[in-house]
Structure 1
């Protein structure tokens, strides 16, 4: 996958599990955020939430939402001539720094994720991906409905 599209603001994110915030990793978490904001000029925002109740029926929501305390979004903004460099910075450096704080690399909310995420199926959909792909193939076998990181787009 190449870095060919540009935007004014490059973003990436991770759903931060309660265990990272409330467990013993707090100092490392704060240090990583400080590094992202000072060394890379990233902006950081987050939304706290509590969605720990399991649904009564299976749904498409990434199961990582059930363990998350915050959806943390990081972003870079530079002169438009820096967009490609910032895409690479986000994908190759900033998001991996966040992922390194979470066992297994963590998950992200699709709408706030890095569109160049190399493991997007796992990161954005979790264990639901295979089931969602079966549904996609059943109702859209020709692949008419498409977006860069939507289920089945790797085809």
Structure 2
């Protein structure tokens, strides 16, 4: 099976991930609600769609790259929940993997999956997120956030 990806949420994280996969000649389609983001990606030669269902139907792995952080710095998972519920509402005969890049707790995902259990028979999920702060890479684990890489400072 040929790997085909949909990047759902194409700002900084989604754009970076999609471009890396494209570099390795993996089929990528970018989705975003913001047409300005899509127009910029299209101008660079990337495949884009403003239709979530189209993006999901043309892929077998979807990366949810929607931020759960609001402008005030608070947490709001409603956009992530909306994207997930729309994905699993799309009828697909073959298996489809959903990758959460959005930083969410494992408990939150457990509750989200339980809420939509009846609809997700052909879908698998996994969590794959990281946090970038002042050029350091942090990994989120069950008991906290750990710095796993800090580049050397240059002068």
TM-score (norm 1): 0.29
Structure having the higher strand fraction is 2
Structure having the higher helix fraction is 1
